[in-house]
Amino acid sequence: REKILEIKDLSITFLQGKEETRVVDSIRFDVHKGEVLGIVGESGCGKSVTSLSIMGLLPKKTSKLSGEILFQGKDLLKLNEKSLRKLRGNELAMVFQEPMTSLNPLFKIGNQLEESLRVHLSLTKKQAKERAIQILKLVGLPRPEELYGEYPHQLSGGMRQRVMIAMAMICDPKVLIADEPTTALDVTIQAQILKLMKDLNKKMETSIVFITHDLGVVAEMCDRVMVMYAGQVVEEGSVKTIFKNPKHPYTRGLMKSVPDIRKKNERLYSISGQVPRPGTVQTGCLFAGRCEYAMAECVKHSPPLYKLQDSHQSRCFLAREEALEHDEAFA
């Protein structure tokens, strides 16, 4: 399938005074047309920062990016703010976790939807209203004509998230980045929103980058998954492969810690130990301190990303035996 987004050796460093903290370390991945790619990891692993960098939303003064972010072959890191703004909301759209903070409380739903249409497509007021009502229907909102004239606070959390998705989808983007879009919602609503996004992905062929800490959501939503740990990609593969045959000890730990859906925010198991602080300079495998399989060499050398069968990759020495090749030198 056609590659729509290609991330090549992307590194992100935050600058604070004289201090530099590397939060994303040389990651590479592709997003194909019409697929749903999951990016999974605990908070602070670099997944949200990665998505903000694709949208061009990281503050220029305090962050340094290197590598390439190719959108349909064009490097987004080389575009100026004006061209980026043209892409944002039009070809590339994003939904966040907390819809109340992304909707403007002072404007009616309809005006907010029309706004993105008028910025990106030159529609008349009448055309914009028609399109807005059509999209409200598409995301499954009842009585769209009335909703059009209501304010965000008059809606439930689930409805607001549907409005956010409508706003993201209104210009028919090629890529939708969803950063924990259902985390703030209760379980039933969460399931409905996930189903909606999956339907939109099928119907409109929008590629989705789905960021989550929850592998259960990945199983439901994604075609492929990339697991991040401390700013690195530690495992990648199709959802089928990863669930059937997880290779990296971190991924296995995450699988054991799927949240108990009956008890919100409770986990059946959690991986002991702590993620190294971002920017920690550490030789060897970054997961070594928490890994129950750690060997002597794990603290001396950094494991490369081993390529396995079926486009599966794992950054762990345990994968060495069955690796077809690996893509970096040992450090």
For the chain, list the strands marked E by DSSP.
3-16, 19-32, 36-40, 63-71, 74-75, 92-95, 175-179, 207-212, 224-229, 232-238, 306-307, 313-314, 325-326
Contacts with 23 (C-beta within 8 Å, 6 or more apart), sequence order:
12, 13, 14, 46, 49, 231, 278, 279
Q: What residue 52 binds from Mg ion, ligand SF4, none (CB within 5 to 8 A, per partner kind)?
A: none
Q: What residue 141 binds from ligand SF4, Mg ion, none (CB within 5 to 8 A, per partner kind)?
A: none
Q: What residue 48 binds from Mg ion, ligand SF4, none (CB within 5 to 8 A, per partner kind)?
A: Mg ion
Q: How far is the CB of 23 from Mg ion (least distance, A)?
A: 12
Applying CB under 5 A, what is the total number of residues that bind Mg ion? Answer: 1
Q: Give the residue with the Cβ less far from ligand SF4, 266 or 269.
A: 269
Q: Is 313 exposed, middle or buried (0-12, 13-18, 19+ CB in 10 A)?
A: buried
Contact between 84 and 56 (Cβ < 8 Å): yes
Q: What residue 54 binds from Mg ion, ligand SF4, none (CB within 5 to 8 A, per partner kind)?
A: none
| Closest CA relative to residue 95, chosen from 40, 177, 202 | 177
Q: Give the residue with the Cβ less far from ligand SF4, 185 or 316.
A: 316
Binding site for ligand SF4 (CB under 6 A): 249, 285, 287-288, 291, 293-295, 298, 303, 316-318
Q: How far is the CB of 314 from ligand SF4 (least distance, A)?
A: 8
Q: How far is the CB of 100 from ligand SF4 (least distance, A)?
A: 39
Whole-number Å distance between alpha carbons of 4 and 261: 34
Q: How far is the CB of 296 from ligand SF4 (least distance, A)?
A: 10
Q: Give the residue with the Cβ less far from ligand SF4, 96 or 287.
A: 287
Whole-number Å distance between alpha carbons of 157 and 162: 9
Q: Give the residue with the Cβ less far from Mg ion, 30 or 42.
A: 42
Q: What residue 291 binds from Mg ion, ligand SF4, none (CB within 5 to 8 A, per partner kind)?
A: ligand SF4
Q: Give the residue with the Cβ less far from ligand SF4, 23 or 271.
A: 271
Q: How far is the CB of 99 from ligand SF4 (least distance, A)?
A: 37
Q: What are phi and psi of 323, to 5 degrees?
A: -75, 145
The 3-state secondary structure of 183-236 reads CCCCHHHHHHHHHHHHHHHHHHCCEEEEEECCHHHHHHHCCEEEEEECCEEEEE
Q: Give the residue with the Cβ less far from ligand SF4, 173 or 303.
A: 303
Q: How far is the CB of 249 from ligand SF4 (least distance, A)?
A: 5
What residues between 13 and 52 interact with Mg ion by CB under 5 A? 48
Q: Give the residue with the Cβ less far from ligand SF4, 79 or 318.
A: 318
Q: Is 9 exposed, middle or buried (0-12, 13-18, 19+ CB in 10 A)?
A: exposed
Interface residues toward Mg ion, by CB under 5 A: 48
